[in-house]
């Protein structure tokens, strides 16, 4: 059986205990991944540290040329990358391609690093005194990424980190590790020197080793809120710069004037695409008025029943399986809890059998009506194809409902009313907002990040914030005295 190793100093390292990697569509083991420990992390960090000085001193334009070539290789090998994603994650090939394309956008942004790293210069801030700022890399930085976007989320991180002159260690999810290694191999093929990019697989032992290692200067994380909070607390306690993106409970508000036909089409993809295993998935539909709720549910139910579900590697599907047997059991537990707590399950996707894939981790789309804020299906992130409908009396009540939730990742509103849209955009306490856009994921030259317990740290992911996260500003003030001039000592604090 194929073994998946680590990437250290440009070479594959088959070291550590082996963990099974499953195909979610079949429930069968397809490979085994080596799990790293503290000693292996130390090897990866040592290789990155050794490569840092030369890479830091490489001109930004040359670093950008590696990114240009990397982008080309990603496009050329897209089919191979997407096939690995679908095989190990379960998402459809079309969804995998969409994920990869959004990741490539971040490589494109990193290609502009010579411009992005330009500092400020001011001549004559004082008599014969000039000042300028410079943005310098941190050193060795690391990224810890989730299973749901094995290509895109890492591409949020290391293209810009590396383009800024850092060396990077990726700790991808052990559930779907293969695409990370293929993409890293393409980066080497693009001309990246050995040691600048490393990949270490593992669980908590590897994560803690990265958090504790003194030479790791920054950590980027995407995952659940409890783990994000842990990583932020431990990383910052160890003096590291940390950005930790956590969980979400994303609401979509439907106003009485919304174009429900278009809104339903948008909601179907936002709620059930990738089996709801997206941090920006819409999991709560907030309907302003009973009439809106009744009409929305009437339109949703036949669409949910018509979802095309099967193995992710088969084309033309709407959904594949969820990532694992454990995840399937967890989601089904939430569904049962919702029923027991009084929500009305109008579409029940449990017990779905896909012919020829009876051992796969399949779950049909589920729809709850009359969900209330006290229910666990409303409070907690389910991370599955489960949509909850909540009924409110007004837009103000919808805003109050959303603002009261502990998460503040993404939200959207469907309306034709510009005044309502403006009020919503101004008053909502959420980091990413859509107006008639169900998945308001920022493009690569903006930044991605929620509010409240959806983000720990001061800087969001990718875009302009990534340049600031992966660099430190240094401000230099210099003076060249005129010849034969003699200045008296000055003991007061200097001023103009």
Q: Where are the beta strands (DSSP E) in 127-181?
A: 129-137, 140-144, 167-171
- Among 218, 130, 170, smallest CA distance to 476 is for 130
Joined together, the tokens standing for residue 153 give 């989320």
The per-residue pLDDT of the chain, averaged, comes to: 96
Domain-embedded: residue 18: yes
Whether the predicted pLDDT of 485 surpasses 90: no
Is 358 contained in some domain?
Answer: yes
Sheet holding 3-4, edge to edge: 3-4, 28-35, 17-23
The per-residue pLDDT for 482 is 76
Percent above pLDDT 70 for the chain = 98
Q: Residue by residue, what is the 3-state secondary structure of 28-54?
A: EEEEEEEECCHHHHHHHHHHHHHHHHH
Q: How far is CA 462 from CA 156, 233, 293, 470, in A?
A: 5, 22, 37, 10
Where b means 16+ CB within 10 Å and e means fewer, 347-385 reads bebeeeebeebeebbbbbbbbbbebeeebebbeebbbbb
**What is the C-alpha to C-alpha distance for residues 271 and 339, in angstroms, rounded to an integer?**
19
Number of domains into which the chain is organized: 2
Report the CATH number that the domain containing residue 71 is assigned in CATH.
3.40.605.10
Average pLDDT on 366-375 reads: 98
Question: What order of strands is seen across the sheet that includes strand 410-414?
Answer: 344-347, 366-369, 386-392, 282-288, 250-254, 410-414, 432-435
CA distance 281 to 211: 29
Asked if the structure places residue 461 within a domain, the reply is yes
User: Are residues 212 and 193 part of one domain?
Assistant: yes
The answer to whether residues 160 and 180 belong to one domain is: yes
At 427, phi and psi to the nearest 5?
A: -95, -20
- What is the tens place of the pLDDT at every residue in 286-318? 999 999 999 999 999 999 999 999 999 999 999
* 355-383: average pLDDT: 97
Q: What is the pLDDT of residue 304?
A: 98
The answer, yes or no, to whether residue 492 has pLDDT greater than 80, is no
The Cα-based distances of 280 to 148, 246, 255, 431, 473 in angstroms read 11, 11, 21, 11, 32
17-56 confidence digits (pLDDT tens):
999 999 999 999 999 999 999 999 999 999 999 999 999 9
Phi, then psi, of 408 in degrees rounded to 5: -145, 50
Q: Are 190 and 75 in contact (CB under 8 A)?
A: no
Residue 336 maps to which CATH number? 3.40.309.10
Helix or strand run (H / E) with residue 188: helix 178-189
Question: pLDDT tens digit string along 255-270?
Answer: 999 999 999 999 999 9
282 and 375 belong to one structural domain:
yes
What band does 489 get if pLDDT is binned at 50, 70 and 90?
confident
- A 10 A CB-CB count for 70 gives 26
pLDDT digits (tens, 9 = 90+) for 54-90: 999 999 999 999 999 999 999 999 999 999 999 999 9
Q: Residue 436 corresponds to which tokens in the numbers above?
A: 């008639």
Using a 10 angstrom Cβ sphere, with 0-12 exposed, 13-18 middle and 19 or more buried, the burial of residue 123 is exposed
Q: Can 111 be counted among the known catalytic residues?
A: no
- Domain identity same for 171 and 214: yes
- Do residues 441 and 462 lie in contact, with contact meaning Cβ atoms separated by under 8 Å? no
Catalytic residue, candidates 279, 366, 388, 412:
279
Largest CA distance in the chain: 91
Same domain for 424 and 286: yes
Say yes or no: 226 and 269 in one domain.
no
pLDDT digits (tens, 9 = 90+) for 444-472: 999 999 999 999 999 999 999 999 999 99
Residue 203 and residue 59 share a domain: yes
Q: Where in the sequence is the domain holding 127, given as residue range(s)? A: 3-246+454-476
Q: Which of 115, 181, 117 is nearest to 154 (CA)?
A: 181
* Residues 155 and 49 grouped into a single domain: yes
What is the pLDDT at residue 400?
Answer: 98
Q: Could you tell me if residue 489 is inside a domain?
A: no
CB of 480 closer than 8 Å to CB of 127: no
pLDDT band at 484 (very low <50, low <70, confident <90, very high): low
d(CA 176, CA 111): 27
Q: Which residues pair with 478 in a beta bridge?
A: 130
Residue 224's pLDDT is 96
Per the listing, tokens 């302003």 go with: 288
Asked if residue 94 and residue 205 are part of one domain, the reply reads yes
pLDDT value at residue 263: 96
Residues 227 and 259 in one domain: no
Mean pLDDT of 312-327: 95
Render pLDDT for 167-221 as a digit per residue (tens, 0 to 9).
Answer: 999 999 999 999 999 999 999 999 999 999 999 999 999 999 999 999 999 999 9
Give Cβ neighbours of residue 257 (< 8 Å, ≥ 6 apart).
415, 416, 417
Q: What are phi and psi for residue 134, nearest 5 degrees? A: -135, 145
Q: Which two tokens stand for residue 485?
A: 């001039």
Q: Does residue 407 sit in the same domain as residue 462?
A: no
171, 143 in Cβ contact below 8 A?
A: yes
Angle between helices 93-110 and 60-76 (to 10 degrees): 160
3-state helix, strand, coil in the chain (%, to 5): 40, 25, 35
pLDDT at 496 over 80: no
Q: Give the pair of three-digit tokens for residue 417.
A: 């009313």
Kindly state whether residues 238 and 284 are assigned to the same domain. no
Scan for tokens 């293969």, then name that residue. 178
Model pLDDT, residue 39:
97
Please check whether residue 70 lies inside any domain of the structure.
yes
Which secondary-structure segment (H or E) carries 422? Answer: helix 418-427
Examine the pLDDT at 5 and tell me if it is beyond 80: yes
Please check whether residue 445 lies inside any domain of the structure.
Answer: no
Mean pLDDT along residues 411-440: 97
Q: Cβ neighbours of residue 221 under 8 Å, at least 6 residues apart?
A: 143, 144, 145, 227, 228, 231, 232, 242, 243, 244, 245
């Amino acid at each position: 059986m194929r073994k998946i190793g680590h990437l250290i100093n440009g070479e594959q390292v088959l070291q550590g205990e082996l963990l099974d990697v499953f195909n979610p569509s079949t429930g069968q083991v397809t490979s085994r991944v080596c799990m790293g420990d503290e000693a292996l992390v130390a090897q990866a960090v040592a290789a990155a540290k050794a490569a840092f000085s030369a890479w830091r001193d490489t001109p930004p334009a040359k670093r950008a040329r590696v990114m240009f070539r990397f982008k080309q290789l990603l496009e050329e090998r897209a089919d191979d990358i997407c096939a690995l994603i679908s095989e190990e994650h379960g998402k459809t090939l079309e969804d995998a391609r969409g994920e990869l394309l959004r990741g490539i956008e971040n490589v494109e942004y990193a290609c502009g690093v010579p411009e992005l790293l330009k500092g400020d210069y001011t001549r004559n801030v004082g008599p014969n005194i000039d000042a300028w700022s410079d943005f310098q890399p941190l050193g060795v930085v690391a990224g810890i990424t989730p299973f749901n976007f094995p290509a895109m989320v890492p591409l949020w991180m290391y293209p810009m980190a590396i383009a800024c002159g850092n060396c990077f260690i990726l700790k991808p999810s052990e559930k779907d590790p293969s695409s990370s290694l293929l993409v890293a191999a393409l980066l080497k093929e693009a001309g990246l020197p050995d040691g600048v990019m490393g990949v270490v697989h593992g669980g908590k032992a590897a994560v803690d080793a990265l958090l504790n290692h003194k030479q790791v200067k920054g950590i980027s994380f995407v995952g659940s809120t409890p783990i994000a909070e842990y990583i932020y607390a431990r990383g910052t306690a160890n003096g590291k710069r940390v950005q930790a993106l956590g969980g979400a409970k994303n609401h979509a508000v439907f106003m009485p004037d919304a174009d429900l036909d278009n809104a339903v089409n948008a909601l179907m993809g936002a709620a059930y695409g990738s089996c709801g295993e997206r941090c920006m998935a819409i999991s709560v539909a907030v309907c302003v008025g009973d009439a809106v709720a009744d009409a929305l549910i009437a339109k949703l139910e036949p669409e949910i029943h018509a979802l095309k579900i099967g193995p992710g590697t088969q084309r033309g599907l709407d959904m594949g399986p969820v990532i694992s047997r454990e995840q399937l059991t967890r989601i089904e537990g939430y569904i049962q809890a919702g029923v027991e707590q009084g929500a009305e399950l109008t579409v029940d996707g449990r017990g779905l059998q896909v012919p020829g894939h009876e051992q796969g981790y399949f779950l049909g789309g589920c729809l709850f009506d009359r969900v209330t804020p006290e229910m666990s299906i409303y409070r907690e992130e389910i991370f599955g194809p489960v949509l909850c409908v909540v009924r409110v009396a007004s837009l103000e009540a919808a805003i109050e409902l959303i603002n009261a939730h502990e998460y503040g990742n993404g939200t959207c509103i469907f309306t034709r009313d510009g005044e309502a849209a403006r009020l919503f955009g101004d008053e909502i306490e959420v980091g990413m907002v859509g107006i008639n856009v169900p998945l308001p994921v920022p493009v690569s030259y903006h930044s991605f990040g929620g509010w409240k317990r959806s983000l720990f740290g001061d800087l969001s992911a990718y875009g302009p914030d990534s340049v600031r996260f992966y660099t430190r500003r240094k401000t230099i003030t210099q003076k060249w005295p005129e010849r034969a001039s003699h200045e008296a000592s000055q003991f007061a604090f200097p001023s103009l």
